[in-house]
Amino acid sequence: MKRYLYIVAYWCVAMVVLALIFVSFDYRFSQALFMASLFLPALLCLRLMLPQVRFTNRWEGVRDVIFILAGAIILTILLLLIANISTLAYSTNLIPDILVNPIFISLLLLAVALPQIWLERWLTKQAKQTPQEIDFISDRRHVKVMMDDITYVESNDSEVWIHTLSGESYRTKTTITQWSSILDNGNFIRIHRAYIVNRLYITESDSTTIRISDHELPISRKYRDGVRQDLLVTTE
């Protein structure tokens, strides 16, 4: 939960800073805040796509970054122009040329998106270094388990099993989707609609299965690309 509070706080501050930049172009603060919000779609694209870029081939990585950034710039300029024409345009208050300058837009986008990506990586690193204890109800008993002691989570229709390093398993009614949000320290990977695994305990893997101790778990087609990327990050 603390992780999400940090991220939300960052985005709130970033939007206010962007709005203050627009205020310097003689926009009222309400107008400036609205214009700052127009950067959100492009910033979301950068947040989702930039971390997926791999530099195993340097030139392909650079090319991908340029394409992603160019798309984000075009999207932002279009939104700014549409908003200016439809809601912000006045005969004496046309949008300044610098606000549709691709270089200026790219600097603003990167100045917001990159620190946010670094913040998430730092939070993930901190979470890995800090042991986390999870409280939940299993068969009407209150159970406490260290997050790093969970080897994998298994969903069997109406119930979910939490398998631990000690060999004990706990049954719970909490859905696997909820467990996916709870297990947010960066070590857990969703590999199937019925399985979440702790990458720390993966002993073998291929394109269709993952082995944890004596358990062989399937990787579904839906999650295959994401699992491949996650395991690639682990080995780098």
Clarify whether residues 148 and 228 are in a common domain. yes
Place of tokens 């709870």: 182
Clarify whether residues 167 and 123 are in a common domain. no
- 174: domain CATH number is 2.40.50.1020
Mean pLDDT of 178-191: 86
Clarify whether residues 15 and 98 are in a common domain. yes
Find the domain containing 11 and state its range: 2-129
Question: How many domains is the chain partitioned into structurally?
Answer: 2
The closest of 158, 34, 134 to 88, measured between CA atoms, is 34
DSSP assignment of 202-218, as one string? --EE-SSEEEETTEEEE
Fill in the amino acid letter for 210. I
For residues 176 and 155, give the distance between their C-alpha atoms in angstroms, rounded to a whole number. 6
Q: What is the dihedral of CA 5, 6, 7, 10, to 10 degrees?
A: 120
Clarify whether residues 175 and 103 are in a common domain. no
Clarify whether residues 92 and 152 are in a common domain. no
Clarify whether residues 53 and 155 are in a common domain. no
CB contact set of 26 (below 8 Å; sequence gap of 6+): 93
Clarify whether residues 118 and 185 are in a common domain. no
Coarse DSSP helix, strand, coil percentages of the chain, rounded to the nearest 5 percent = 55, 20, 20
- pLDDT band at residue 66, thresholds of 50, 70 and 90? very high
Q: Are 109 and 72 in contact (CB under 8 A)?
A: yes
Clarify whether residues 195 and 116 are in a common domain. no
Clarify whether residues 122 and 145 are in a common domain. no
Fill in the amino acid letter for 163. H
* Tens digits of residue pLDDT in 120-141: 888 777 766 666 788 888 988 9
Q: Are 42 and 72 in contact (CB under 8 A)?
A: yes
- pLDDT of residue 233 exceeding 60, the answer is no
